[in-house]
Amino acid sequence: MTAPLKHSDLVTVDVALGDRAYDIVIGRDVLPSLGARIAALRPGARAAIVTDRNVAKHWLEKALASLSRAGVEASHIIVEEGEGSKTYAGLERVSEALISAKIERNDLVIALGGGVVGDLAGFAAAILRRGVDFVQVPTSLLAQVDSSVGGKTGINSPQGKNLLGAFHQPVLVIADTAVLDTLSPRQFRAGYAEVAKYGLLGDEAFFTWLESNYADIFAGGPAREHAIATSCRAKAAIVARDERETGERALLNLGHTFGHALEAATGFSDRLFHGEGVAIGMVLAAELSAELGMIGQSDARRVKTHLAEVGLPTHLQDIAGFAQEGLADADALMTLMAQDKKVRRGRLTFILLGAIGRAVIAPDVEPSLVRDFLKAKLRRTK
């Protein structure tokens, strides 16, 4: 790994998508540059900020001030926090508000918030007037390293996570690492799961570096910018090669087949944050990989040990209210996994590990094997 960045370093990561390429600007205190960057990118455009109540308390005024200084006329829409806003009703409310704000085809939607706001605002932008540009200003670690990059937008169905959506690339991403200082420890840990994912799926050296440097990332030291930039570069490279997930982009779903089912089983509630579901899902994926003989048991233990060390849940039994609504039922979890977007003609596809730092797409994993695996994990005590 290269030496960690200094706080003063500004990093720009290019997402190379031809005439739809865009920059991810990463660094401390880059939010004040939002207005100037938008004015330069889309002269004369108006903007509507979509944010949630908690983020608005901290960052909405600063974002509006930046836009005002640059002469960008802006309005704002505030939604409720959490996955409950990623619904048909939430999409309708944001879409109607954007229409009322007279956002036109040559204007911009700005997603100021975490993954929920980014997915919701991005999907609304994708369908408003058949598509208007949008800018991502991610305010959570998870959003900065994952959901704000790559153009996946969408809402949840009662039947599963992110089953309704569109690929709609942003025209700019502003990742101000200083805004992460306002996150709760639990929110930051949940985002860290996605950082660890990039090491596990394609960069063993990065995972090793994380094992030694995670404390500085959590403390807000220069390792934080380094981890975010490395994660963004990894995702940008995969997105550039496979924008619409017809091949290797599926590797980014390491831990998500299990994780999304667990989120659905807990009602997309605060009982299980997305990153927490991914953490448990990555442990399960590593352990299933070991059971299939793809990696050694020591590698599976290494995955679990690191995630547990940073305070993430690693067992199904770590989920609040574990015995409730289907979490202790392997068949119910299998039914939820059958709604996964990687399912093809009813056959499950998992992202598993061939090594630490090398994820593989495993189509047609035998359902009975997965069911027995889950039953064994459900019988396990902590």
| Residue pLDDT, tens place only, 153-177 | 999 998 888 999 999 999 999 999 9
Q: Are 87 and 218 members of one domain?
A: no
Number of H helices, E strands in the chain: 14, 11
Given pLDDT bands bounded at 50, 70 and 90, which one contains residue 382?
Answer: low
Residue 46 DSSP symbol: -
Residue 141 counted as domain residue: yes
Is residue 340 scored above 80 in pLDDT? no
Q: Which of 55-59, 103-107, 158-162, 274-278 has the lowest mean pLDDT?
A: 158-162
- The domain of 252 spans 185-379
Quick: pLDDT tens for 40-52.
999 999 999 999 9
Q: Are 193 and 148 members of one domain?
A: no
Quick: pLDDT tens for 292-334.
999 999 999 999 999 999 999 999 999 988 766 557 789 989 9
Final residue belonging to a domain, choices 182, 208, 241: 182
Instruction: Write the CATH number for 32.
Output: 3.40.50.1970
Structure tokens, 40: 């330069």
pLDDT (0 to 100) of residue 102: 97
Q: Are 74 and 124 members of one domain?
A: yes
Residue with tokens 């990989």: 289
Residue 357 DSSP symbol: T
What one-letter code names the amino acid at 95?
S
- Number of compact structural domains in the chain: 2
Q: 248-262 burial by CB neighbour count: b if 16+ within 10 A, else e?
A: ebbbbbbbbbbbbbb
Q: Are 195 and 137 members of one domain?
A: no
Active site members? 130, 152, 194, 235, 245, 249, 253, 256, 260, 274
Q: Are 225 and 297 members of one domain?
A: yes
CA-closest candidate to residue 359, choices 301, 303, 312? 303
Q: Are 146 and 205 members of one domain?
A: no
Q: Determine contact, residues 135/99, Cβ cutoff 8 Å.
A: no
Final residue belonging to a domain, choices 182, 208, 237: 182
Q: Determine contact, residues 94/131, Cβ cutoff 8 Å.
A: no
Final residue belonging to a domain, choices 165, 182, 199: 182
Q: Are 30 and 173 members of one domain?
A: yes
Q: Are 77 and 118 members of one domain?
A: yes
Q: Are 125 and 191 members of one domain?
A: no
Quick: pLDDT tens for 5-21.
565 578 999 999 999 99
Residue 4 counted as domain residue: no
Distance CA 65, CA 59 (A): 10
Quick: pLDDT tens for 124-133.
999 999 999 9
Instruction: Write the CATH number for 273.
Output: 1.20.1090.10
